[in-house]
Amino acid sequence: MVSKRNNVTINLKMDSGSPKFIQVADFLATEIVNGKMKTGQQMPSINELSTQNSISRDTAEKAYKILRDQKLIVSVMGSGNFVSYTGSKAKFDVFFLINKPCTYKMEAYNAFVDTIGNKGHVNMYIYYCDEQLFINALKKNINNYNYFIIMPHFRTSKKTHINYTNRVLKAIETIPKDKLLILDNSYSEISGNFTAVYQDFKEDIMYALTKAFAKLKKYKKIILVFSTQTLFPIPVGLLHGFKEFCQNNSLAFEIIEEVNNDLKFESKEAYIVIDDNDLVQLVQQIKEKKLQIGTDVGVISYNETPLKALLDISVLSSDFKAMGQKAAELVLSNKKEFFKNPFGYIERSSL
């Protein structure tokens, strides 16, 4: 005989940023996963759930849809909804949205997954700094996950970087704040009680360049290669921080758009290169002109990768492994805090 759970009392929090149907689905999912509702047991009907908890039928139906999407219940035509959980579902599901596929972003993702372990299931999505792709991905998955990890970096119509657009902020507001974690960028544009593991691009680059100052001051000019027309735009905070650092330390500096094929090298210049394609071009030209990296021309790259370590290139970088680990630890502990990710200078022979 199939047992039926007729009475389900859900403590809805009226001051929560989470919609009622999400709260209902979360409560029932916890009951099922914790074994309070057994496999094969019949769920209350839509009418029963609505009446018992003073919620609309629409709210109850949306909650049951989430449970069906999560494979926790199954609907049998003419009979009702039944628990289908067999113990194989992860404790929670995580929506992990990154702006671009690259070595260091994947390092953060892999560290997050490794730290979560078997306590959760993580799905990664990529939106390529595109506003509409971001909104579509979020809209499609808003009811299917317990946590939303988001790296906000967007491209304007002029191909410049922006932390958020107005449409993106509206989309983010649909996420319950207790399920939101902002990763890798600014969080101040968003209101409410949520979590962030962030970078402060201006302050970070100034701090790291200060660590590199003993080597930088031997060069006559510091040149920043900062492109404003790339598929994945560069945060403008890096530009502002670089300028302020050079001005504060009375260093001659220049900003160029890209590394051209006919780059003219002057004596004792140091290059700070953001984009890896520019780094390759720069190193090739230095070698073609038979100049010595770290002696004739200084080179600093942005964001650490194994290849840069192998090539002995000095780097200004956030610790992306620590970023992923910290994000996972906050999710596992359900802590709400704003944590500034470690950023530093890795000195090698290229400077």
**pLDDT tens digit sequence for 188-227:** 999 999 999 999 999 999 999 999 999 999 999 999 999 8
Which structural domains are found in the chain, ordered by start? Answer: 20-83 (1.10.10.10), 92-199+320-342 (3.40.50.2300), 202-318 (3.40.50.2300)
- What is the tens place of the pLDDT at every residue in 13-50? 776 556 788 888 888 888 887 788 888 899 999 999 99
Q: Is the dihedral of CA 238, 244, 249, 255 positive or negative?
A: positive
User: Radius of gyration of the chain from Cα atoms?
Assistant: 25
Q: What percent of the chain has pLDDT over 90?
A: 66
- pLDDT the model gives residue 1: 47
Least confident of 62-76, 289-303, 333-347: 62-76
Render pLDDT for 244-264 as a digit per residue (tens, 0 to 9).
Answer: 999 999 999 999 999 988 888
pLDDT of 166 reads 96
Ranges 9-13, 121-125, 312-316, 344-348: which has the least confidence: 9-13
Kindly list the strands in the beta sheet with 221-225, ordered across the sheet, starting from the edge strand earlier in the chain.
Answer: 253-256, 221-225, 269-273, 297-302, 314-318, 343-346
Residue corresponding to tokens 């996950």: 145
Q: Which residue has the higher pLDDT, 263 or 286?
A: 286
- The residue with tokens 């394609």 is 277
CA dihedral for 244, 249, 255, 260, sign (positive or negative): negative
Q: Residue 4 — pLDDT band, cuts 50, 70, 90?
A: low
Query: Given this model, what pLDDT does residue 143 score?
Result: 84
pLDDT value of position 18: 66
Residue 90 has pLDDT above 60, yes or no: no
56 contact partners, CB below 8 Å, separation of at least 6? 50
| CB-based contact 88:50 (threshold 8 Å) | no
**HEC readout, the chain:** CCCECCCCCCCCCCCCCCCHHHHHHHHHHHHHHCCCCCCCCECCCHHHHHHHHCCCHHHHHHHHHHHHHCCCEEEECCCEEEECCCCCCCCCEEEEEECCCCHHHHHHHHHHHHHHHHHCEEEEEECCCCHHHHHHHHHHHCCCCCEEEECCCEECCCCCEECCCHHHHHHHCCCCHHHEEEECCCCCCCCCCCEEEECCHHHHHHHHHHHCHHHHCCCCEEEEECCCCCCCCCCHHHHHHHHHHHHHCCCCEEEECCCCCCCCCCCCEEEEECCHHHHHHHHHHHHHCCCCECCCEEEEEECCCHHHHHCCCEEEEECHHHHHHHHHHHHHHCCCCEEECCEEEECCCCC
What pLDDT shows up at residue 111? 95
- Neighbour count for residue 166 (Cβ, 10 Å): 8
pLDDT category at 92 given cuts 50, 70, 90 is: confident
Could you give the CA distance from residue 293 to residue 86 in angstroms, rounded to a whole number?
A: 60
> What is the reported pLDDT for 2?
54
Could you report the per-residue pLDDT of 115-144, keeping only the tens digit for each?
998 888 888 999 999 999 999 999 999 988
Average pLDDT in the 165-189 region?
Answer: 95
Q: In what order do the strands lie in the sheet with 147-150?
A: 121-126, 93-98, 147-150, 180-183, 195-198, 338-340
pLDDT at res. 36 = 85
Is the pLDDT score of 3 beyond 70?
no
Residue 152, pLDDT > 50, answer yes
Mean pLDDT value across the chain = 91
